[in-house]
Amino acid sequence: MKIDGIDKTIIKRLVKDARTPILSIAREVGVSGAAIHQRLKKLEKSKLIEGYSMILNPEALGYTTTAFVGVYLDSSSQLSSTIKRLKEIPEVIESHYTTGNYAVFIKVLCKNNKSLKDILNDKIQPIKNVLRTETFISLEQQVKRQINI
């Protein structure tokens, strides 16, 4: 997908704040609002833009513990059934099939450390094919950003 300077400006503005008015972007780049809409549709159709979302603050909702959990599986042939079960756990917010020691690396948001322990002991470790887990608690997130264009 080739993108030009106008596309880059549109993307940068919307990544910074997805609620930026189209007309504000149009005035900045010197084209009509309709032209911005057409470019956005083109970027969406090409799948460069996957969607628009609201970002919630987990701490404001009482989720104060973020952990990363490496999941060791008995057999990688059971990966899809394991992922299906992990998707049923609301606190699991990301899952990655990885190389290295773990078959799956997940990100978990919990209310506190006790909640994390309960999720590990009662929901993740009992999943058939999970041999064991290794957990890393995040003390603080220093970098959170989109890919730079």
CATH level 3 topology of 58-138: Alpha-Beta Plaits (3.30.70)
Maximum C-alpha span of the chain = 59
The reported pLDDT for the residue numbered 145 is 87
CATH level 3 topology of 5-45: Arc Repressor Mutant, subunit A (1.10.10)
Determine the 3-state secondary structure of 23 from DSSP.
helix
Task: Report the candidate in 142, 123, 136 with the shortest Cα–Cα distance to residue 66.
Answer: 136
State which H helix or E strand residue 135 sits in: strand 130-138
pLDDT digits (tens, 9 = 90+) for 20-70: 999 999 999 999 999 999 999 999 999 999 998 888 999 999 999 999 999
The reported pLDDT for the residue numbered 148 is 85
Q: Where along the chain do the CATH 3.30.70.920 domains lie?
A: 58-138
CA dihedral 73, 79, 82, 86 (to 10 degrees): 100
The reported pLDDT for the residue numbered 1 is 77
Tell me how far apart the alpha carbons of residues 41 and 49 are, in angstroms, rounded to a whole number: 9
